[in-house]
Chain A
Amino acid sequence: MASVASPEPRKKAGGRQRTRNHEGFLRHSNFRWLKIALILCIACLVSYFLIDVEPRHNGGSWYGYTLGTIGALLILWLTMLGMRKRAMTPGGWSLKAWTSAHVYLGLSLIVIGTLHTGFQLGWNVHTLAWALMMIVIISGIYGIYAYATLPQGLSANRDEMTETQMIDSLRSLDRQLHDAAQPLVPEQAALVQSSLEQDPFAGHLLQRIGNRYPGCSTRNAQAELRRSRAYQPRLGDDPLDKVDSLLAKKEATLGRLRKHLQIKSMLQIWLFIHVPMTFALLAALSAHIVSVFFYW
């Protein structure tokens, strides 16, 4: 869950302020922003059914304009998290409070924005803005889910290794493999060479997220070498033994690296939708507002 800790300073004067507990942005201030967002949604829903708009609800009634104004201002404020997050401050307006508000008020936009449409959707700029808003919100929901569930797996897989250590260990294994493979015949050397030459960070997005690398040269080299020596007599000091054990180590290291890449990409991918779609939404929102007043 959110790693930003609730900054509750100890009463003891002096010294570094320490935090006592981990309270994620979702639980911030005993769900203050969840409650505010819920009140907002309920108020909108109740008024939607109580207020009579003729001939039927639409964005162009006074009620529709009101919801639209609230929604547009909310969208602008929510977008500002991108700026705000670069300045961490503690307190009631801490970044965590902002994030908490961002999440819950963002979710409340589903209700506000949809009621603003009056459920009149079509192939036009107005529905485009609504659809982009929904894409942003849904990607954000995935983001919350990812932040809430994936970091444990990332930490467990890493086993206290840093990313630098991961690549260093690969490099070390590669050097050892290179040395150990020197006595090999050309065909076997070529297999080891292909493992060395393969970029461990290659593979397209789906391979990363799916953690599926069917063309892994390391695995292939290991399998082929084992096959080729399966019927050869063991002569004690066979360089293939060392190469084989090094390949096995490399594969394990690669496995951990790829799992790491998988979890990290799942943690990051939603932002590649959330952020560009937010900007597309801002553009569509501008076009929506201009068009309404241009032709009204």
Chain B
Amino acid sequence: MSFIVRQIAYKADGSEIIRDAGSGETIITIGRNSDNAVHLPDLAVNPAHAQVEQSADGLLSITAISGQPFYLDGKSVTSGEIDPARGGELVFGGHNIIVSRDSDSGAAILTVRRESAVSDSEEERDLGSIYTLKGKVPGKRGSAWGFVALVLIACLAWPIYSWATYKDLAYAEKAKRPDGPHGDGFWSSGSMSLAHQSLKDDCQACHVEAFVSVRDNSCMTCHDDSAHDHAAKPRLATARGEPEGFAAFQRAVANAFNKPEGACVDCHTEHEGEGAMQPVAQQWCADCHDGMDTRLTDTKILNASDFGKQHPQFRPAILQQAVAGDDEADAPRRRISLDDKPIENNGLKFPHDLHLKKGGGVAQMGRRLSARYGFGEALACKDCHTEDPSGVRFEPVDMQENCAMCHSLSFDKIGGTFRQLPHGKPELVKADLRAYFRSTSPNRPINLGSLPRQRPGDVPRTRTAADYARAVRFRPSRADQAIRAVFSDGGACYDCHSVTNNGGLDYVIAPVTQTDRYMHKGWFDHAPHEEEKCTTCHKAEDSGKATDLLLPGIATCRECHGGEKETASDVPSSCAMCHEYHADGGAPWLIRQEQKKKKSKKPKVVAQNRR
């Protein structure tokens, strides 16, 4: 016997069934057809795939019949040899054939086994998972932990690492974190305001200690010059009073979380988006100033909570007494409510109504001089009042600049030059007048020494000569008369100034003090109001006396300005529009922002308007 073909099949329980078939031939074939000696029911095997020939010395040579290769000891070949004594393995499709030698008979044994299942679905399956998405998408558990790790590293570990790395810098003087991506930038809840843009990568400039809210000393690092105290801390606390109800609860929560009361950041909130820092809301002011007199009983400040609803009448600082010289700012003033209809004597006489009248002498004079001074049909406010360079207020009225166009002090003409009485210097006025009368002669009568115009006879000639001689002689004493005239009713000085006579020619002009700012606790800027007519607020057309205070009351302002919440009003106005908490004397925060905006938008136009 040359070959033993040993077919091995498996029972359901996994045990083997072995079937041997002997063959005396020296050549046998391997294939799918049942007439092959080695029958492999395998669709991957050709009907007649290969033949095995045994030579005399027992060696097996295997050759593919159809040219289809097979595997010999793991290599794909179309022919090869196996020594059954040494053994070998052939693979055809899903079957493998182990070649060995029967020690008794010396025949070659071909042990045939089906290694792989008939089909893919035949293979063992985990029924619990094949119908699910397992293996198709990342598992829930795995990706959950993956995301958790990713988020915690990127959003928690890295930011804390950034903070810890530069923690010591926070205490170093003038130290700044280097630019570059820092993990804690990912914690920012919104863009920083324009003013703080330079700090946007330096979270630790303000957030110094972990779990400690931003403290005032962080702010004061840069703002120690401008952040003046609003009032002494104990007075602030008294004015604020003990919180009640919900506010008390909020305070308790804030205390529990170690958030101090009255910190800069209470009012100045950051991370509210790019752009100017938001002005402080009215509520922060009203917290203390609403009903403040009940808590801070000695205060002189009246209660206020909302410009539209609860705000005292304006109390401008009224001049009590005009002072001489340049110390106008130091002149005594007193705050009086406009409701008390205060008057102010600044030392001048000036009827606004007369000057602003559409007809009459003043208007007529203005029209005559319009070519020279640009007056209109009648005089207007701007003809005498000039804005200061900032546009906020007006320059004091200046006699030479603003009055002398009409109220000329000329008294003599030499050649083309007019001589003027020196304004503001009464003694010089007297001296000039005296000098004038001393150095000039009276007009020479035309009949003096002129034959054709003389009346006949000596008497008229003598009389004329005598009259003239007397006039010449008494000429200097005419100066006293002129001095008296200029300081008295109808005279150039008396028209505008209060003049007192201490006997003889001792005339004293009352000092004049002009007030350029009445509201020192609030801020009023004329520039944003330039679209309004002056007379909308200042009732100058009806004012016959200089003592009339032409300031508008709160009712006039309220025609346009309402409280912060009065969105129906033309200009909802928070406290910050006129008042400044830190009181450095300048414009309030909100107005400064507006000015900055205007400047950056149209610098040239604004400059021209102000001039």
Our verdict on whether A and B bind, yes or no, reads yes
Q: Which residues of A contact B (CB under 8 A)?
A: 52, 54-56, 58-60, 62, 120, 122-126, 128, 163-164, 167, 170-171, 174-175, 177-179, 181-182, 184-186, 189-190, 192-193, 196-201, 204-205, 208, 260-261, 264-265, 268-269, 271-272, 275-280, 282-284, 286-288, 290-296
CB of A122 within 8 A of CB of B189, answer yes
Docked Cα-Cα span, A292 to B187, in Å, equals 8
CB of B140 within 8 A of CB of A291, answer no
CB of A201 within 8 A of CB of B130, answer yes
- Chain B residues lying within 8 Å of A260, measured Cβ to Cβ, are 131
Docked Cα-Cα span, A212 to B379, in Å, equals 91
Q: Which of B43, B122, B145 contacts A184 (CB 8 A)?
A: B43
| A and B contact pairs by CB, cutoff 8 A, 26 listed | A54-B269, A55-B272, A120-B273, A126-B189, A163-B131, A167-B125, A167-B130, A171-B121, A175-B119, A190-B44, A197-B119, A205-B137, A261-B131, A265-B136, A268-B133, A271-B140, A272-B133, A275-B144, A276-B138, A279-B144, A279-B145, A283-B152, A291-B184, A294-B187, A295-B184, A296-B211
- Chain B residues lying within 8 Å of A171, measured Cβ to Cβ, are 119, 121-122
Docked Cα-Cα span, A190 to B66, in Å, equals 14
What is the interface of chain A mostly: helix, strand, loop, or mixed? helix
Q: Which of B41, B132, B565 contacts A182 (CB 8 A)?
A: B41
Q: Which of A175, A192, A294 contacts B163 (CB 8 A)?
A: A294
CB of A277 within 8 A of CB of B32, answer no
B356 contacts the other chain (CB 8 A): no
Instruction: List 5 tightest A-B contacts by C-beta distance, closest first.
Output: A54-B281, A280-B147, A174-B119, A196-B119, A287-B155
A210 to chain B, nearest CB (A): 13
CB of A264 within 8 A of CB of B143, answer no
In the complex formed, the residue of A with least CB distance to B253 is A62
Docked Cα-Cα span, A59 to B189, in Å, equals 9
CB of B127 within 8 A of CB of A164, answer yes
CB of A296 within 8 A of CB of B43, answer no
CB of B122 within 8 A of CB of A174, answer yes
A98 to chain B, nearest CB (A): 20
What is the interface of chain B mostly: helix, strand, loop, or mixed? loop
Docked Cα-Cα span, A264 to B136, in Å, equals 13
Docked Cα-Cα span, A260 to B184, in Å, equals 49
Docked Cα-Cα span, A177 to B118, in Å, equals 10
B160 contacts the other chain (CB 8 A): yes
* In the complex, per-residue mask of B214-233: 1 if CB is within 8 Å of any chain A CB, else 0: 10000000000000000000
B498 contacts the other chain (CB 8 A): no
Q: Which of B130, B148, B259 contacts A282 (CB 8 A)?
A: B148
B560 contacts the other chain (CB 8 A): no
CB of B43 within 8 A of CB of A272, answer no
- Chain A residues lying within 8 Å of B152, measured Cβ to Cβ, are 283, 286-287
Known interface pairs A122-B190, A283-B152, A291-B156; A178-B133 also in contact (CB < 8 Å) = no
Known interface pairs A182-B32, A269-B137; A279-B187 also in contact (CB < 8 Å) = no
CB of B186 within 8 A of CB of A124, answer yes
B500 contacts the other chain (CB 8 A): no
- Chain A residues lying within 8 Å of B189, measured Cβ to Cβ, are 58-60, 120, 122, 124, 126, 292
B210 contacts the other chain (CB 8 A): yes
- Chain B residues lying within 8 Å of A122, measured Cβ to Cβ, are 188-191
Q: Which of A198, A265, A291 contacts B159 (CB 8 A)?
A: A291
In the complex formed, the residue of B with least CB distance to A272 is B137
- Chain A residues lying within 8 Å of B203, measured Cβ to Cβ, are 295
